[in-house]
Chain A
Amino acid sequence: MDPKLFLTASVICIFASVAMWMLVKANTRAAKGIAAIVGIAAFLGLLSNVGMSQIESTQKPEVFFYLFSLIAIACSVMMITSAKPVYSALYFVMVVLSSASLFLLLQAEFMAFALIIVYAGAILITYMFVLMLAQQASDPEMEQEQAEYDVNPREPAAACIVGFVMLTLLSSMIFQSMSDMPTPPSASDSRIAAWQTFDSMLGSKQEIAFVQRVIPAENAGWNGVHDDDGNLIRFEGDEAYIQIAQGEETLRVVLEDRFAPSNVELVGFDLIAKFPVSLELAGVILLMAMFGAVILARRQIELSEDEVREAAGMARISFEALEPDSNGGESP
């Protein structure tokens, strides 16, 4: 490992973890402010070191990336430092929203919205319900007071050292491998990749329908021609096109962008074509989680033998049943 990069990584990570430690431990507003500034500076330092590899790029500065990643990290720090669990959950919603925005920047539209629906909409609401359930104070005087275990952190210094070691390792690995990482994909690269995936997902029936959809109206009924590798869609420079033929005549049709496959189609195809068994397993896991939650969270009710028989629609057997007062079991 390059010692200079490792040194840089560890110096910045020391700052970051000291800031984290101050945030976890501090009680005054001023100390929290200083810690927040040091923390943000350290994070920007980490990000600026990532850019050390000299990659030519004509892209505009991506302000939104910095905006959303700063929001995500600031909100996650607020989440783990806030003394009220409900606020923690709300800050986590902010983290989810800003990382969904990062997904949008990465052109993963489907996952961005699925993340908002599943995380912010379903999982976080479950957390909120349990929090509300658990926070019903048993006596009203306790209601305004913060629980002791929410105010005082457990071993903040040790946790920050663990975090420091982990972050130093991760960041120096990232700095070091920057030159091997793929360059940012250009718009035409990702379009060509999308068309290539789309080509592999076309069956013979869909192919006919697709060809009829994209060709000009006067050529209706012409057939698509495959190239030597069996691909329907061919590329020239940035352009995707198909060859169509009828009899001896051939014609070249450029594919317009409005026919390009959407992110949802591509992800759906990838999910079904490459991971069918995992998809089934995911369904089974969800079902088992549902059973588990129902079984764990129900209230345990002791029923006597007679009551069980009664619930099953059978006759009572014991003599005790004739005298209701002497019945040993609790009534439901």
Chain B
Amino acid sequence: MMHLLAQTDSFGSVELGHYLMTSSVLFVIGLIGFLTRRNMIVMFLCTELMFQAAAIAMIAFSRFHHDLSGQVFVIFILTIAAAEAALALSLVVLLYRRKETLSAEAWSELRET
């Protein structure tokens, strides 16, 4: 841990790695949220968080490589996220009508065995 303290001046410039680190931390938080939450809507919100993390990484790559394709990919990520939100939410509405609960475990009998 010693070299951590010696690196305090490294807060000076922001490089690609900083953005990638932010993006991977956001992604992992989204993953943990998806695994721990039991409310179906919040689980889908966590997938949106993971999309968000991917978008940050894409934009950072696009800036540091001078290639605009990264930004174009974010447009497609937005499209997929919107389509996913529409379909997932209508499924949630459908499931909620059947069982009157948002708990994902209410549907655990769908698994095999």
Identify B13's interface contact among A59, A126, A288, CB under 8 A. Answer: A59
Complexed CA–CA distance, A296 and B90 (Å) = 6
Residues A111 and B92 in contact, CB atoms below 8 Å apart: no
Q: A23-47 CB contact bits vs B (8 Å, 1 = yes)?
A: 0100000000000000000010111
How many chain A residues touch B (CB < 8 A): the figure is 105
Q: A185-221 CB contact bits vs B (8 Å, 1 = yes)?
A: 1000110010001000000000000000000000000
The answer to whether A182 and B65 touch (CB under 8 A), given A57-B13, A285-B80, is: yes
Residues A108 and B62 in contact, CB atoms below 8 Å apart: yes
Residues A72 and B26 in contact, CB atoms below 8 Å apart: yes
Residues A185 and B66 in contact, CB atoms below 8 Å apart: yes
Sample (26) of A-B pairs whose CB atoms are under 8 Å apart: A20-B29, A45-B4, A47-B11, A47-B22, A50-B17, A52-B7, A62-B14, A66-B11, A76-B29, A80-B33, A85-B42, A96-B52, A108-B71, A115-B74, A134-B93, A147-B103, A150-B39, A154-B35, A166-B27, A174-B17, A193-B66, A271-B72, A275-B72, A278-B76, A285-B83, A286-B83
Which of the candidate stretches A87-95, A238-246, A312-320 sits at the interface with the other chain? A87-95
Residues B10 and A48 in contact, CB atoms below 8 Å apart: yes
The answer to whether A126 and B89 touch (CB under 8 A), given A62-B13, A270-B69, is: yes
The answer to whether A155 and B52 touch (CB under 8 A), given A62-B13, A289-B82, is: no
Identify B38's interface contact among A45, A150, A286, A292, CB under 8 A. Answer: A150
Complexed CA–CA distance, A270 and B71 (Å) = 9
Identify A162's interface contact among B7, B20, B35, B83, CB under 8 A. Answer: B35
- Report B30-77 residues with CB < 8 Å from chain A CB: 30-33, 35-39, 41-42, 44-46, 48-49, 52, 55-56, 59-60, 62-66, 68-69, 71-72, 74-76
Complexed CA–CA distance, A327 and B63 (Å) = 67
For A52, the chain B residues whose CB sits under 8 A away are: 3, 7, 10
For B41, the chain A residues whose CB sits under 8 A away are: 85, 127, 130-131, 134
Asked if A114 CB lies within 8 Å of chain B CBs, one says yes
Residues A171 and B24 in contact, CB atoms below 8 Å apart: yes
- Partner-B contacts on A (CB < 8 A): 8, 11, 16, 20, 24, 43, 45-53, 55, 57, 59, 61-62, 65-66, 69, 72-73, 76-77, 79-80, 85, 88-89, 92, 95-96, 99, 102-103, 106-108, 110-111, 114-115, 118-119, 122-123, 126-127, 130-131, 133-134, 138, 147-150, 152-156, 158-160, 162-163, 166-167, 170-171, 174-175, 178, 181-185, 189-190, 193, 197, 263, 266-267, 270-271, 274-275, 278, 282, 285-286, 288-290, 292-294, 296-297
- Report B76-99 residues with CB < 8 Å from chain A CB: 76, 78-87, 89-94, 96
> Which residue on chain A has the smallest CB distance to residue B82?
A123
Residues A85 and B32 in contact, CB atoms below 8 Å apart: no
Pick the most buried of A16, A127, A160: most chain B CB atoms within 10 A of its CB. Answer: A127
Identify A153's interface contact among B26, B30, B37, CB under 8 A. Answer: B37
Residues A110 and B29 in contact, CB atoms below 8 Å apart: no
The answer to whether A99 and B25 touch (CB under 8 A), given A51-B15, A79-B49, is: no
Identify B39's interface contact among A50, A106, A147, A263, CB under 8 A. Answer: A147
Complexed CA–CA distance, A37 and B18 (Å) = 20
Shortest distance between the CB of A179 and any CB in chain B (Å): 10
The answer to whether A156 and B36 touch (CB under 8 A), given A55-B15, A149-B101, A297-B94, is: yes
Shortest distance between the CB of A255 and any CB in chain B (Å): 18
The answer to whether A197 and B15 touch (CB under 8 A), given A79-B49, A127-B41, A134-B96, is: no
Identify A89's interface contact among B22, B30, B45, B64, CB under 8 A. Answer: B45
Residues B32 and A163 in contact, CB atoms below 8 Å apart: yes
For A130, the chain B residues whose CB sits under 8 A away are: 41, 89, 92-93
Leading 5 A-B pairs by shortest Cβ distance: A51-B10, A80-B33, A289-B83, A159-B35, A57-B13
Residues A102 and B7 in contact, CB atoms below 8 Å apart: no
Known A59-B14, A106-B59; further 4 A-B contacts with Cβ < 8 A:
A49-B4, A51-B7, A108-B63, A275-B72
Residues B45 and A149 in contact, CB atoms below 8 Å apart: no
